[in-house]
């Protein structure tokens, strides 16, 4: 106890004694027995009250036993039910949860996973209805949740994964031991199946579009069958294939003609053989939308720079777009009208005819500046912006503007991407309204000067990016995500917005034309007021109708950031129409989309034993089976690393929490009152 508290308690006792002395003994020459009793009670009362005011703390040592964790992770995907192992898996999980020796040794928790992981409540049965399986994500999440204590993880799964990284390479970090339990038949059955199908979602009228299909085979003998691509009952392509255990895969590539506009549903089929028991994985549907428009983009430059190739790659990642890179000295100005968007890269005096043509014919353009830009010329050639540029260069980082509402794009963590480089100097902007997609950050300071801005004038649109080396953004995006897709999508949406010269609509919808069965469907909409500023107070309602069954789904779209969102999953395959209506303005938007059949979880006929073995080997573990739970329980009980740990914790308890003191205080006051009453003092 601190010295201060000891001193205060001593003073409290002295004060209580002094009070009692002056009250009962000073001037009382013949104190009786009752006087001593009353004095004692009064001293006790005052001393307790003072103690409660001082409220000293007392240290208390608590001991607790912490058991090691036992996590039971159950694959809740529909492939388990399809393999008719749902009851067996549930029974295995119950045996582990209720085993008395395991309950005494471990702190047991049960989780189920499909696309995501969740905890299972006590006495809850698992439904095995998840439409996707992500084993690697489940392993990482459980490892993260239990990274501070020794934990055993029992993984009950068939090993068939439809999403995520290859889980067979997962390796624990030392505190979690993985015990994989195989669910399903480990013997390869005779089965032809389509493992992958690659096709572009868009094709151009009167052109041929490629289709690549990968057909796999599992079985013990060589078998021959036929591969077909059908449109309805019409066979558009067929080919005989012969596969065996030694040659178990074949890549089939062909092209199909795009003869009519709109969406067309095709089906790739491997004709079943008599030995097959599962034919659900013998077919795969796909949809191709045929269009007759192609956006042509021109990149004009007087210098060579990596940015040019990066922009071409990003823009042409969308099959609807074609990019031509031309040097300004080789360009014929009369060809400018052949392009829907002109990208002007680091202009100088030689671009005079280009700017005049853009101004006279209201072309859409995108200006990119940099260290080689002639700013004196650029300031005079257009009126949207100007810069008092010096000979020094400056690095500019980008920051995302979440309030931009011209079109929807995701934050690529622009502030973490490499800086762009341009001439140093103050920026000024003319009278043309503009919106910033990205702001500048200079030497760690956020500014309100745009790094990437869009200017809208009548039907034409102009954009400006103030900095070169955007190729570094594309490269960094690949390093962070392993794909160029995020960066390319951003550039693609910007190009689409600039190249579209139609009048801006107050209600626009962002929706994919095709979704796969089981895929989470998210419909996004933008609603603007009369000044074309995003209006978060809109009341948007949506109706979805299945064109075959007539089933209706209706709901409200919720405002989120700078868009309205409606999410739904588990739509049955078929063609759907949608209607989005803003209640107050009565603005309507209609369209349609297709959900195609793709029950990938029911395409598996046996457990993925090879991947499960690799997982066990990478974690120095053995492989277990549903029909032998005792082997797993014996291993868990004999592992030396899973032992309970006694932990001590020192707590400081304040005196005011001692309820017994209140009892003695009340008792003391009551006793003094009765004594006084008895002796006739009150």
CATH of the domain at 316: 3.40.50.880
φ, ψ for residue 680, nearest 5 deg? 70, 30
Distance CA 524, CA 511 (A): 7
| 142 vs 27, more confident | 142
Instruction: Note the pLDDT tens digit of each residue in 97-124.
Output: 999 999 989 999 999 998 889 998 877 8
Domain containing residue 202? 191-292
Confidence of residue 605 (pLDDT cuts 50, 70, 90): low
SS3 content of the chain, % helix, strand, coil (to 5): 30, 35, 35
Question: How far apart are the C-alpha atoms of 262 and 325, rounded to whole Å?
Answer: 31
Sheet strands (E) in 158-307: 176-182, 191-199, 202-204, 208-218, 223-231, 234-243, 249-257, 262-270, 283-291, 295-301
Please provide the average confidence, as pLDDT, over all residues in the chain: 85
Strand pairing class (57-66; 645-654): antiparallel
Q: Which phi and psi angles does 82 have, rounded to 5°?
A: -65, -35
Higher pLDDT, 72 or 82: 72
Last residue of a domain, one of 238, 261, 292: 292
Domain boundary among 474, 499, 524: 499
The answer on 408 and 310 residing in a single domain is yes
Does the pLDDT at position 504 exceed 70?
A: no
Query: Would you call 233 helix, strand, or coil by DSSP?
Result: coil
Q: Does 468 score more than 90 pLDDT?
A: yes
287 vs 284: CA distance, rounded Å: 10
- Say whether both 106 and 95 belong to one domain: yes
Q: At residue 648, does pLDDT exceed 70?
A: no
pLDDT band at residue 682 using 50, 70 and 90 as cut-offs: low
**Residue closest to 218 by CA, chosen among 196, 187, 192:** 192
* Same-domain status, 165 and 239: no
Q: CATH number of the domain that 160 lies in?
A: 3.40.50.410
Task: Output phi, psi for 170, to 5 deg.
Answer: -65, 135
**Can you give the pLDDT at residue 366?**
93
Residue with the bigger pLDDT between 500 and 357: it is 357
> Domain boundary at 448, 476, 499, which?
499
Spatial CA neighbour of 576 closest among 543, 609, 624, 599: 543
Question: Same domain, yes or no, for 612 and 526?
Answer: no
The reply to whether 180 and 234 lie within a common domain is no
Which DSSP category does 25 fall into? Answer: I
**What HEC string does 294-329 produce?**
CEEEEEEECCCCHHHHHHHHHHHCCCCEEEEEEEHH
Beta strands at 249-257 and 295-301: parallel, antiparallel or unpaired: unpaired
Residue 519 and residue 597: Cα distance in Å, rounded?
11
Do 426 and 488 fall into the same domain? yes
pLDDT at site 181: 92
* Average pLDDT rounded to a whole number, residues 235-248: 91
Strand partners, 645: 66
Phi, psi of 97 (to 5 degrees): -70, -35
Q: Using CA atoms, how far apart are residues 318 and 483, in angstroms rounded to an integer?
A: 15
Handedness of CA 385, 388, 392, 398 (dihedral sign): negative
Residues 408, 410, 414: CA angle, nearest 5 degrees: 130
Greater pLDDT, 122 or 422: 422
What's the chain's Rg over C-alpha atoms? 38
What stretches of 534-619 show up as alpha helix (H) in DSSP?
A: 609-618
In whole angstroms, how far apart are CA 148 and each of 102, 121, 144, 172? 21, 23, 9, 13
- For 341-459, list the strands marked E by DSSP: 341-345, 365-369, 385-387, 393-400, 420-423, 427-429, 434-442, 445-457
Residues 493 and 536 placed together within one structural domain of the fold: no
The most confident of 187-201, 469-483, 601-615, 653-667, by mean pLDDT = 469-483
- Other CB atoms within a 10 A radius of the CB of residue 378 amount to 22
**Which among 381, 305, 384, 317 is positioned nearest to 347, based on CA atoms?**
381
Burial of residue 178 (CB within 10 Å: 0-12, 13-18, 19+) is: buried
8 Å CB contact between 223 and 243: yes
What would the mean pLDDT of 562-590 be, rounded to a whole number?
88
* Dist. CA 128–CA 74, nearest whole Å: 9
Q: Are residues 387 and 333 in the same domain?
A: yes
State yes or no: pLDDT of 293 exceeds 70.
Answer: no
Q: Kindly indicate the confidence band of residue 214, based on its pLDDT and cuts at 50, 70 and 90.
A: very high
CA dist., res. 279 & res. 277, Å (int): 6
pLDDT band at 55 (very low <50, low <70, confident <90, very high): confident
Task: Answer whether residue 599 shows pLDDT above 70.
Answer: no
pLDDT tens per residue, range 14-48: 888 888 888 777 777 777 777 788 788 888 888 88
Q: Is the sign of the CA dihedral 556, 559, 564, 566 positive or negative?
A: negative
- The secondary structure of 487-501 as a DSSP string is HHHHHHHHHHHHH--
Is there a contact between 146 and 106 (Cβ–Cβ < 8 Å)?
Answer: no
Q: Distance between CA 346 and CA 377 in Å, rounded?
A: 11
**Candidate from 78-82, 104-108, 238-242, 436-440 with smallest mean pLDDT:** 78-82
Within 8 A by CB and 6+ apart from 186, the residues are 606, 607, 609
**Three-state DSSP state, 515:** strand
Q: Which residues pair with 397 in a beta bridge?
A: 441
Please return the burial class of 32, using the count of CB atoms within 10 Å of its CB with bins 0-12, 13-18 and 19+.
Answer: exposed
Domain CATH number, residue 239: 2.60.40.10
* Total domain count, the chain: 5
H/E segment holding residue 554: strand 552-556
Q: What would the mean pLDDT of 412-435 be, rounded to a whole number?
A: 86
492 and 343 fall within a common domain? yes
Q: What is the mean pLDDT of residues 247-255?
A: 92
pLDDT at residue 534 in the model = 79
Model confidence band, residue 603 (pLDDT cutoffs 50, 70, 90): low
pLDDT in tens, 632-646: 999 999 888 888 777
Same domain, 76 and 55: no
Total Cβ atoms within 10 A of residue 418: 15
Model pLDDT, residue 471: 93
Would you mind telling me the total number of residues written for the chain in this entry? 682
Query: Closest Cα to residue 110, out of 130, 96, 100?
Result: 96
Whether residues 200 and 337 share a domain: the answer is: no
The residues that bridge with 579 in the sheet, in sequence order, are: 543, 590
How far lies 540's CA from each of 515, 586, 621, in Å? 23, 10, 54
Q: How confident is the model at residue 502 (pLDDT cuts 50, 70, 90)?
A: low
Long-range contacts of 446-449 (CB under 8 A, 24+ apart): 446/399
Nearest CA-CA partner of 367 in 345, 397, 396:
345
Q: Is 595 exposed, middle or buried (0-12, 13-18, 19+ CB in 10 A)?
A: buried
Residues 58 and 162 in one domain: no
Residue 76 class from Cβ within 10 Å (0-12 exposed, 13-18 middle, 19+ buried)? buried
């Amino acid at each position: 106890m601190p010295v201060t508290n000891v001193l205060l308690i001593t003073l409290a006792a002295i004060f209580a004694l002094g009070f009692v002395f002056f009250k009962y003994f000073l001037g009382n020459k013949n104190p009786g027995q009752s006087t001593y009793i009353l004095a004692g009670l009064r001293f006790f009362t005052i001393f307790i009250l003072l103690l409660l005011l001082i409220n000293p703390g007392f240290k208390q040592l608590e001991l607790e036993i912490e058991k090691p964790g036992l996590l039971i992770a159950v694959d809740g995907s529909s492939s388990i039910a399809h393999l008719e192992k749902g009851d067996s898996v549930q029974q295995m999980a119950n045996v582990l949860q209720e085993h008395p020796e395991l309950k005494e040794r471990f702190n047991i928790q049960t989780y189920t996973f499909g696309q995501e992981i969740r905890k299972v409540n006590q006495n809850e049965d698992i439904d095995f209805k998840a439409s996707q399986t992500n084993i690697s994500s489940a392993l990482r999440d459980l490892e993260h949740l239990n990274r501070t204590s020794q934990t055993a993880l029992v993984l009950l799964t068939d090993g068939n994964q439809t999403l995520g990284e290859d889980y067979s390479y997962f390796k624990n970090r030392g505190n979690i031991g993985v015990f994989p339990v195989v669910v399903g038949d480990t013997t390869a059955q005779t089965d032809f199946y389509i493992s992958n199908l690659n096709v572009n979602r868009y094709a151009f009228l009167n052109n041929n579009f490629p289709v690549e299909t990968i057909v796999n085979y599992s079985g013990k003998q060589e078998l021959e069958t036929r591969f077909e691509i059908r449109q309805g009952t019409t066979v558009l392509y067929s080919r005989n294939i012969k596969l065996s255990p030694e040659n178990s895969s074949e890549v089939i590539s062909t092209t199909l003609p795009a003869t009519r506009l709109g969406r067309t549903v095709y089906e790739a089929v491997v004709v079943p053989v008599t030995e097959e028991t599962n034919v659900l994985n013998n077919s795969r549907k796909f949809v191709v939308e045929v269009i007759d428009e192609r956006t042509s983009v021109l990149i004009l430059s007087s210098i060579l720079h990596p940015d040019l190739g990066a922009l071409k790659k990003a823009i042409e990642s969308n099959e609807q777009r074609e990019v031509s890179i031309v040097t300004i000295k080789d360009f014929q100005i009369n060809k400018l009208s052949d392009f829907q968007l002109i990208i002007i890269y680091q202009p100088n005096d030689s671009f005079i005819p280009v700017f005049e043509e853009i101004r006279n014919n209201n072309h859409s353009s995108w200006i990119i500046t940099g260290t080689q830009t002639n700013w004196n010329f650029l300031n005079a050639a257009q009126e949207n912006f100007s810069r008092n540029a010096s000979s020094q260069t400056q690095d500019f980082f980008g920051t995302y503007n979440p309030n931009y509402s011209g079109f929807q794009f995701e934050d690529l963590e622009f502030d973490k991407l490499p800086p762009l480089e341009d001439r140093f100097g103050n920026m000024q902007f003319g009278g043309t309204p503009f919106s910033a997609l990205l702001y500048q950050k200079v030497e760690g300071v956020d500014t309100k000067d745009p790094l990437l801005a869009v200017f809208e004038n009548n039907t034409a649109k102009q954009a400006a990016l103030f900095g070169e080396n955007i190729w570094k953004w594309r490269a960094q995006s690949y390093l962070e995500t392993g794909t160029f897709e995020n960066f390319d999508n951003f550039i693609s949406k910007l190009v689409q917005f600039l190249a579209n010269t139609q009048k801006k609509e107050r209600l626009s919808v962002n929706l994919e034309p095709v979704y796969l069965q089981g895929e989470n469907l998210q419909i996004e909409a933008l609603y603007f007021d009369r000044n074309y500023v995003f209006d978060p107070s809109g009341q948007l309602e949506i109706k979805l109708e299945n064109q075959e069954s007539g089933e209706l789904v209706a709901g409200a779209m919720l405002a989120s950031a700078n868009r309205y969102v409606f999410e739904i999953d588990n739509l049955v395959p078929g063609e759907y129409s949608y209607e989005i209506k803003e209640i107050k303005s009565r603005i309507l938007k209609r369209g349609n989309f297709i959900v195609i059949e793709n029950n990938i979880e029911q395409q598996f006929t046996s457990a993925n034993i090879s991947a499960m073995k690799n997982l066990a080997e990478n974690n120095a573990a053995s492989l277990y089976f549903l029909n032998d739970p005792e082997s797993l329980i014996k291993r868990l009980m004999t592992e030396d690393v899973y032992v309970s740990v006694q932990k001590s914790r020192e707590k400081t308890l304040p005196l005011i929490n001692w309820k017994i003191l209140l009892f003695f205080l009340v008792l003391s006051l009551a006793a003094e009152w009765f004594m006084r009453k008895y002796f006739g003092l009150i």
